[in-house]
């Protein structure tokens, strides 16, 4: 089914038109740990080089690591491998947006966790219109 939808959909990944025509004249500048590929070439309206990302899988902007986000938005000039300092020992790798998946955050008391909240403590007094 994926091969039939590829020419017509953009949300499943880069379409054939993007790969054949949109990236013509662009130079591949790097890849990230998630398999996304980054390109640079051409100029935008302000004279800066255009920068692109082709996602490895579904098009989800939360899958772009922070260092490559900085490169895409011209916050750093060179690719992150050369422009950014090495990662610190305490830094964790980024995770994609899990909203809408079974791994999404669900606090205690939410309907997905059974809907049972802890009872209110004695320091709470409900508002009434007469009072």
Per-residue model confidence as pLDDT tens digits over 36-87: 999 998 888 888 888 989 888 878 888 898 899 999 999 999 999 888 888 8
Contacts of 28 (CB under 8 A, 6+ apart): 37, 38, 39
What gap in Å lies between CA 35 and CA 88, rounded to an integer? 22
Model confidence pLDDT, tens digit, residues 97-117: 888 888 898 888 888 877 777
Question: Containing H/E element for 50?
Answer: strand 49-54
Domain boundaries, the chain: 2-87
Beta pairing partners, 50: 41
């Amino acid at each position: 089914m994926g091969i039939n939808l590829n020419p017509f959909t953009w949300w499943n990944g880069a379409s054939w038109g993007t790969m054949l025509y949109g990236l013509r004249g662009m130079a591949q500048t790097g890849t990230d740990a998630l398999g996304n590929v980054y390109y640079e070439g051409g100029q935008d309206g302000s004279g800066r080089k255009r920068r692109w990302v082709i996602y490895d899988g579904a098009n989800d902007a939360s899958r772009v690591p922070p260092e490559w986000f900085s490169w895409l938005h011209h916050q750093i000039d060179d690719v992150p491998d050369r422009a950014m300092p090495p990662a610190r020992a305490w830094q964790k790798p980024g995770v994609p947006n899990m909203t809408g998946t079974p791994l999404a955050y669900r606090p205690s008391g939410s309907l997905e966790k059974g809907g049972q909240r802890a009872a209110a403590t004695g320091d709470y007094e409900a508002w009434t219109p007469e009072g």
